[in-house]
Amino acid sequence: MAKLILDGLTLEQAKELAAWFEGQGEQDAMTWFDCQTNPLPHVYTDVGGSQEAITVTGDTVIVRCRSKRGKP
């Protein structure tokens, strides 16, 4: 499983970006993935599991994601 790390944000910015992705950003990303030369599987926030989609620990914000091809 790959990880994407965005560095240099404040904790407040990271939380806001995570909340945006869990909401509208998730849908916006689908269009971007579809427009690639070799379309990529859509990425969804993993809200159906036993853990929350967004977790904050100290100054780290984690957004759990999944795609139709597999589990997170």
Does residue 44 form part of some domain? yes
Residues 6+ apart with CB under 8 A from 58: none
Does residue 72 form part of some domain? no
pLDDT of residue 49: 59
Tell me the β-bridge partners of 63: 54
Domain total for the chain?
Answer: 1
> Residue 6 has which token pair?
């965005």
Q: What is the pTM of this model?
A: 0.69
DSSP 72: -
Place 42 in a pLDDT band, splitting at 50, 70 and 90.
confident
Give the residue numbers spanning the domain of 23: 11-67
- Percent of the chain exceeding pLDDT 90 equals 21
Does residue 5 form part of some domain? no
Does residue 6 form part of some domain? no
Does residue 2 form part of some domain? no
* Helix ranges, 21-60 (H): 26-34
Does residue 4 form part of some domain? no
pLDDT for 69 beyond 60: no
Does residue 3 form part of some domain? no
